């Protein structure tokens, strides 16, 4: 299961869905998307390739 720990207004909040993370927040504390064990299908490879972009996007949304 995915786990994202995000600091919002000085408090740590845990999310299991990337889509639930607020648009603005203080800091990304933990970014742990669900990694499906291999071997992977082409669709799974495409999903895995999005993780770096998602982390970069979250880092741009940090307020501090």
Predicted confidence at residue 6, as pLDDT, reads: 98
6 CB neighbour count, 10 Å cutoff: 22
Question: Structural domain of residue 32, as residue ranges?
Answer: 3-61
pTM of the model: 0.89
Predicted confidence at residue 4, as pLDDT, reads: 98
Measured distance CA(58)–CA(28) in Å, rounded: 7
61 touches 23 (CB < 8 A): yes
Number of separate domains in the chain: 1
Q: Per residue of the chain (64 residues), what is the pLDDT tens digit?
A: 999 999 999 999 999 999 999 999 999 999 999 998 899 999 999 999 999 999 999 999 999 7
Predicted confidence at residue 53, as pLDDT, reads: 97
Predicted confidence at residue 36, as pLDDT, reads: 85
């Amino acid at each position: 299961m995915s786990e994202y720990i995000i600091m919002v207004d000085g408090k740590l909040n845990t999310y299991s869905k990337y889509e639930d993370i607020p648009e603005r927040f203080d800091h990304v504390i933990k970014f742990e998307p669900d990694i499906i064990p291999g071997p992977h299908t082409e669709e799974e490879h495409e999903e895995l390739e999005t993780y770096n972009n998602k982390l970069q996007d979250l880092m741009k949304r940090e307020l501090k």
